[in-house]
Chain A
């Protein structure tokens, strides 16, 4: 660990809402100016409620959707101003694993062809035999026997399909894998298998993960550092240990208190947040969390809190920790 592999600086993405001609223009602020860094070799977990902009962040980094503003620096090169075509070259180095393994594989392609396709696109000079051996080696590492090469995706279970999805992401030997809720569609027993597989592969191929999830225990299991998102903003970023033992932001505290305890004798008062998550097309003024925050003051309602580094490796955006 050490070098920064990818860095997002103040990236924004607003999806305009189509309205009548005379109404004011509004937009869903899916990602509203977030910044973070991912170091080489680490796993960065991104957590938050559904609709907070986690998945959009993943797609922005990969260039599947263009950023409105802000910079994405990958290995020292600013990608945000590249055209779609130029971005393609960098895709090879950052691949995605998707949430729904039932929908992310083309239903009318054989496994062999699905896995070969990235090679067909990026390594045109490679001959068919070399591709075959690459595919077979990788499939075996991902726990699918070569016997299945000529099958179609619908003949596999969810866990197997996610293994195939991971193999497809790995075949181009990327540096960064953006995993968008890779296990949330799977059974709990399969989840741990896939997570362990991802850990093993990380060691073997020296991978960096951006791991997006709403499941805190999953994130705790796999991440080195964790970022907590709320309504398009990153409210707290810290190492896993700090997030899970000493959370600073009231939202993080509330999230963590919702994890069920293994030990029934330990009493912990869950922090129940009042109200619903506000709409992202009309977020609250000031700190976006003030409508639900138990410690909210007048200042929170008016002023957007600064992102402060209260420690070397802990960032929090909250007025409570003003220095």
Chain B
């Protein structure tokens, strides 16, 4: 009997070494090439964001009047701008601004939007109607117009860009979380939780919220791309970062006068914005295919 028990224990021990959920996830994720490449690109951006100041070949803010508007070369890979500042260094320094602005804005929007969506979907009735009509009002404005309006009220500056971008991502998060909540709410385990006496808060946070998390993650990733674009647009319009700071949007804005004579001034900041937004979108797509069981083949 005891040997039988130890045998069964052994079997159990071996079972533990099977790949966990996360490992399985990781393996199948690696089969989706665009998403994987995007993932590493995004990772690289975040690394650059952190170690940026230590790897820039030149000071991003230091003008060099001996090398104005130089085309890309071995000394300046991406060329220099109208003050002789190294564009590669400025793009590296700008990663920090773009990413921190967009990620914090989307986080803020996601937190508020998720709470509203959970409450709306779970409580229903007039609460749901109130929140959803409020979202409809916000949806009625084009994102960027809404953001410009908010920045116009609050005044220009990166902090207010964060608030503006967060504000226009709230309704889309609220709506998408509400949808997921409505679906999960009808599941048997929610009723089971109710039958053991769980309160509304507990059911919302412990049973429904974890089920909506995959949707939120996917949407978060995609929204970061949109937010980068929006933040760059606001900076381009002179409503975000100061024109002299190495923000990607601000760089585009300042150098658009030189588009005919020195195209690399607009090309590289534009390219990096394009690639970053694309990477976040492809990553989000890949994650959605992974996490949404209906899309699995």
Contacts and interface: CB of A to CB of B under 8 A. Distances in A.
Contacts of A168: 192, 196
A91 interface: yes
B207 interface: yes
* Secondary structure call for the B interface: helix
A64 B193 contact: no
Interface in A26-55: none
Interface in B229-247: none
B187 interface: yes
Given A91-B196, A121-B198, A122-B197, A104 B12 contact: no
Nearest to A96: B195
Contact of A105 (B9, B189, B197, B202): B189
B206 interface: yes
Contacts of B202: 121
A70 interface: no
A100 B196 CA distance: 16
Interface string B140-171: 00000000000000000000000000000000
Interface in B198-244: 198-199, 202, 206-207, 210-211
Q: Which of B187, B189, B199, B202 has the most CB of A within 10 A?
A: B189
Given A109-B206, A121-B202, A147-B12, A96 B192 contact: yes
Contacts of A172: 196
A95 interface: yes
A103 B187 contact: yes
Interface string A103-137: 11111110000000110011000000000000000
A73 to B, nearest CB: 20
A169 B195 CA distance: 9
Contacts of A98: 188, 191-192
Contacts of B206: 106, 109, 117
B191 A106 contact: no
A106 B193 contact: yes
Nearest to B188: A103
Interface in A139-153: 147, 152
Given A108-B211, A109-B206, A121-B202, A64 B188 contact: no
A56 interface: no
A109 B193 CA distance: 12
Contact of B207 (A91, A106, A152): A106
B203 to A, nearest CB: 10
A92 interface: yes
5 contacts: A88-B197, A91-B197, A106-B193, A106-B207, A121-B197
Given A147-B12, A168-B196, 4 more contacts: A95-B196, A96-B195, A103-B188, A106-B193
